Amino acid sequence: MSIKVEILSKYYGQQAAVKKISFEIKTGEVVGFLGPNGAGKSTTLKMITTYLTPNSGKIFVNGINAEDDPIAVRKKIGYLPEQNPLYQDMNVIDYLKYTAELQSVPKDKIKDSVKKMVRVCGLEDVRHKDIGELSKGFKQRVGLAQAMIHNPAVLLLDEPTSGLDPNQIIEIRKLIKDLGKEKTLMLSTHILQEVQATCDRVIIINNGEIVADGTTDSLQKRFQGQINIYLIVKKDPRYGREKVISSFESVKNVEKVKLEGDNENAWQLDITANKGVDVREEIFMKAISLNMVLLEMHQEETSLEDIFRKLTT
């Protein structure tokens, strides 16, 4: 495992920021660490990076015990904290050379490492500019470059798209997705779209405790409630409203049919089915048997937002 956390706790005075959490992240995984503000996300990342010392529990990074050898752990990790650690009066190239030296990149490889990060992070057009002159999006790219300058096996990113505009967010998400193909990447955020766009797996933390861990699909199945299907059928002079409703209510596993819309040309129906049962095919066949023209049908899935709200409120 690239990251292994065992029964980890951190207290600030009497206040528990993290309470006996455990998880493992495999090499090559992109994991979203999701939770509301104050849930314990940043505290957990700071403990993994050895910036904070836990009150109890163990952390292993690539098999190295963080308590026994914190320096070796730091060499394995690239970290972008929520507050980007940039020197505004340095230009991009000089700053990356400086961070490469801090990360003990061999002197004969610093030039190539900087060149690679400029290319990977899309900094070619601003490489000779002072960091203070850059947009927030390019500053985030520079922050990612400093986190990767020593080619770490593990990347920890804390709110990497905070404060960016929509175009910049799309660019950074694509970069994160590309990085995840060759790195173990843990992305801390409270933005649900971030996780859906970039992550293979989700860990949700609330009040310092892990409340869910799994792929988006597995969490949706776990928290799936009753199925809702929205159906639009063309009006037919042979059938009235009650006939249409009763016909679809007769479908096996359908609990309820509600008329949501009734215009000149079509009926819009909200069909509730039993938990975990897909009745779309049966509904389709029922429409065919009645020679009804089916204009639209879609099933409402339990979203990550629904799951997040259920677990954190």
Question: Tens place of pLDDT for every residue, the chain, 313 residues?
Answer: 589 999 999 999 999 999 999 999 988 889 999 999 889 999 999 999 999 999 999 999 999 999 999 999 999 999 999 888 899 999 999 999 999 999 999 999 999 999 999 998 889 999 999 999 999 889 989 998 999 999 998 999 988 887 778 887 888 888 888 877 888 999 988 788 888 888 989 999 999 999 999 988 888 778 777 778 899 999 988 888 888 899 999 999 998 899 888 888 898 999 988 877 888 999 999 999 989 999 999 887 777 888 888 888 8
- pLDDT value for 1: 56
For the four alpha carbons of 136, 140, 142 and 146, in that order, the dihedral sign comes to: positive
- pLDDT value for 164: 76
CATH 3.30.70.1340 intervals, the chain: 227-300
Q: Is 77 left (phi over 0), alpha (psi -120 to 50) or beta?
A: beta
CATH 3.40.50.300 intervals, the chain: 3-214
d(CA 259, CA 119): 56
Superfamily for 227-300? MTH889-like domain (3.30.70.1340)
Q: Are 227 and 276 in contact (CB under 8 A)?
A: yes
Hey, what CATH class is 3-214 in?
A: alpha beta
- Express each pLDDT in 92-133 by its tens digit: 999 999 999 999 999 999 999 999 999 988 899 999 999 999
CA-based end-to-end distance of the chain? 32
d(CA 158, CA 117): 19
d(CA 288, CA 106): 71
- CA nearest neighbour of 11 among 41, 56, 42: 56
For residue 289, the tally of other CB atoms under 10 A from its CB is 9
Q: Are 58 and 67 in contact (CB under 8 A)?
A: yes
